[in-house]
Amino acid sequence: MFARQIAVACLAAEALTACAPEAPKGVEREALDAAISRAIGDPQSCVLIAELDSGKLVYRYNTHSACDRQLPACAGPGSAMQTIDDLLKVTRKDGQARAMSCNSLADASRGVGWASGAIAGKGLVYAAMMEGDRAFPGRVMADRLSQAFKDAGH
Protein backbone atom coordinates (compact mmCIF):
# COMPACT_ATOMS: atom_id res chain seq x y z
CA MET A 1 0.00 0.00 0.00
CA PHE A 2 2.78 2.44 0.95
CA ALA A 3 4.65 1.77 -2.31
CA ARG A 4 1.48 2.54 -4.26
CA GLN A 5 1.09 5.89 -2.47
CA ILE A 6 4.69 6.79 -3.30
CA ALA A 7 4.14 5.85 -6.94
CA VAL A 8 1.00 8.01 -7.13
CA ALA A 9 2.85 10.93 -5.50
CA CYS A 10 5.71 10.57 -7.99
CA LEU A 11 3.32 10.55 -10.95
CA ALA A 12 1.58 13.66 -9.60
CA ALA A 13 4.93 15.44 -9.18
CA GLU A 14 5.93 14.50 -12.73
CA ALA A 15 2.65 15.82 -14.07
CA LEU A 16 3.11 19.14 -12.31
CA THR A 17 6.67 19.46 -13.52
CA ALA A 18 5.67 18.62 -17.08
CA CYS A 19 3.15 21.45 -17.06
CA ALA A 20 5.57 23.99 -15.61
CA PRO A 21 7.20 26.33 -18.13
CA GLU A 22 10.87 25.50 -18.56
CA ALA A 23 12.74 28.79 -19.06
CA PRO A 24 13.05 31.65 -21.54
CA LYS A 25 14.86 30.76 -24.77
CA GLY A 26 18.62 30.81 -24.38
CA VAL A 27 18.54 30.55 -20.57
CA GLU A 28 19.25 27.41 -18.57
CA ARG A 29 16.48 26.79 -16.05
CA GLU A 30 18.95 25.62 -13.38
CA ALA A 31 20.99 28.82 -13.70
CA LEU A 32 17.87 30.99 -13.49
CA ASP A 33 16.50 29.01 -10.52
CA ALA A 34 19.83 29.37 -8.70
CA ALA A 35 20.12 33.11 -9.41
CA ILE A 36 16.57 33.79 -8.22
CA SER A 37 17.09 31.59 -5.15
CA ARG A 38 20.13 33.67 -4.20
CA ALA A 39 18.25 36.91 -4.85
CA ILE A 40 14.84 36.33 -3.23
CA GLY A 41 14.65 32.60 -2.56
CA ASP A 42 12.08 31.70 0.05
CA PRO A 43 9.25 29.15 0.28
CA GLN A 44 6.79 32.06 0.00
CA SER A 45 8.29 33.80 -3.04
CA CYS A 46 7.22 33.49 -6.67
CA VAL A 47 8.53 34.82 -9.98
CA LEU A 48 6.73 34.61 -13.31
CA ILE A 49 8.24 35.51 -16.69
CA ALA A 50 6.09 35.87 -19.80
CA GLU A 51 6.53 36.92 -23.40
CA LEU A 52 5.56 40.57 -23.78
CA ASP A 53 3.65 40.17 -27.04
CA SER A 54 1.80 36.88 -26.57
CA GLY A 55 1.59 36.72 -22.77
CA LYS A 56 2.80 33.10 -22.91
CA LEU A 57 4.26 32.07 -19.57
CA VAL A 58 7.83 30.90 -20.13
CA TYR A 59 9.04 30.51 -16.54
CA ARG A 60 7.74 30.08 -13.01
CA TYR A 61 9.87 30.06 -9.88
CA ASN A 62 8.14 28.05 -7.12
CA THR A 63 4.92 26.05 -7.00
CA HIS A 64 1.36 26.87 -7.97
CA SER A 65 0.39 26.99 -4.29
CA ALA A 66 3.06 29.61 -3.56
CA CYS A 67 2.20 31.59 -6.69
CA ASP A 68 -1.61 31.52 -6.65
CA ARG A 69 -2.14 33.33 -3.36
CA GLN A 70 -4.21 36.50 -3.09
CA LEU A 71 -2.37 39.12 -1.06
CA PRO A 72 -2.71 42.87 -0.44
CA ALA A 73 -1.89 44.85 -3.59
CA CYS A 74 -0.11 47.54 -1.52
CA ALA A 75 -1.74 50.36 -3.49
CA GLY A 76 -2.73 52.29 -0.38
CA PRO A 77 -4.97 51.90 2.66
CA GLY A 78 -7.82 49.50 2.00
CA SER A 79 -6.46 48.50 -1.41
CA ALA A 80 -7.68 45.35 -3.12
CA MET A 81 -6.11 41.93 -3.08
CA GLN A 82 -4.16 40.62 -6.07
CA THR A 83 -2.33 37.57 -7.33
CA ILE A 84 0.99 37.54 -9.09
CA ASP A 85 -0.90 36.73 -12.32
CA ASP A 86 -2.84 40.00 -11.90
CA LEU A 87 0.42 41.93 -11.56
CA LEU A 88 1.94 40.20 -14.59
CA LYS A 89 -1.09 41.05 -16.76
CA VAL A 90 -1.04 44.73 -15.78
CA THR A 91 2.72 44.98 -16.33
CA ARG A 92 2.43 43.27 -19.72
CA LYS A 93 -0.31 45.67 -20.73
CA ASP A 94 1.41 48.95 -19.81
CA GLY A 95 5.09 47.97 -19.61
CA GLN A 96 5.58 49.94 -16.40
CA ALA A 97 7.95 48.78 -13.69
CA ARG A 98 6.42 48.43 -10.24
CA ALA A 99 7.86 48.00 -6.74
CA MET A 100 5.43 47.97 -3.80
CA SER A 101 5.35 46.58 -0.30
CA CYS A 102 3.08 46.61 2.73
CA ASN A 103 1.97 44.52 5.69
CA SER A 104 0.16 41.34 4.77
CA LEU A 105 -1.30 40.96 8.27
CA ALA A 106 -2.98 43.67 10.33
CA ASP A 107 -0.58 43.13 13.26
CA ALA A 108 2.41 43.89 10.94
CA SER A 109 4.00 40.52 11.74
CA ARG A 110 4.23 39.67 8.04
CA GLY A 111 4.74 41.69 4.91
CA VAL A 112 4.46 41.34 1.16
CA GLY A 113 6.69 42.77 -1.55
CA TRP A 114 5.76 43.03 -5.22
CA ALA A 115 8.05 43.83 -8.14
CA SER A 116 7.50 43.74 -11.89
CA GLY A 117 8.81 45.15 -15.13
CA ALA A 118 10.35 44.43 -18.48
CA ILE A 119 13.51 42.36 -18.86
CA ALA A 120 15.57 44.73 -20.98
CA GLY A 121 16.03 43.77 -24.61
CA LYS A 122 14.42 40.34 -24.31
CA GLY A 123 10.75 40.92 -25.17
CA LEU A 124 9.86 39.54 -21.75
CA VAL A 125 8.17 40.86 -18.61
CA TYR A 126 8.32 39.54 -15.07
CA ALA A 127 6.30 39.75 -11.90
CA ALA A 128 7.57 38.73 -8.48
CA MET A 129 6.06 38.37 -5.04
CA MET A 130 7.55 37.59 -1.66
CA GLU A 131 5.43 37.24 1.49
CA GLY A 132 6.37 36.42 5.06
CA ASP A 133 7.97 37.67 8.23
CA ARG A 134 11.20 38.45 6.33
CA ALA A 135 9.85 39.59 2.96
CA PHE A 136 11.96 42.11 1.09
CA PRO A 137 10.41 45.43 0.07
CA GLY A 138 9.43 45.60 -3.61
CA ARG A 139 12.25 47.99 -4.52
CA VAL A 140 14.86 45.64 -3.03
CA MET A 141 13.31 42.70 -4.87
CA ALA A 142 13.43 44.60 -8.18
CA ASP A 143 17.13 45.42 -7.70
CA ARG A 144 18.03 41.87 -6.67
CA LEU A 145 16.07 40.32 -9.54
CA SER A 146 17.63 42.66 -12.09
CA GLN A 147 21.04 41.31 -11.07
CA ALA A 148 19.74 37.71 -10.94
CA PHE A 149 18.46 37.95 -14.51
CA LYS A 150 21.89 39.21 -15.64
CA ASP A 151 23.66 36.45 -13.68
CA ALA A 152 21.49 33.82 -15.41
CA GLY A 153 22.25 35.18 -18.89
CA HIS A 154 19.35 37.55 -19.45
Fold that domain 22-151 belongs to in CATH: Beta-lactamase (3.40.710)
| Predicted confidence (pLDDT) per residue in 120-149, tens digit | 889 999 999 999 999 999 999 999 999 999
Burial code (b: 16+ CB inside 10 Å, e: under 16) for 107-125 equals eeebbbbbbbbbbeebebb
User: Which pLDDT tens digit goes with each residue over 47-82?
Assistant: 999 999 999 999 999 999 999 999 999 988 777 999
Which sequence spans correspond to the domains of the chain? 22-151
pLDDT at 25 over 70: yes
Predicted pLDDT of residue 2 = 41
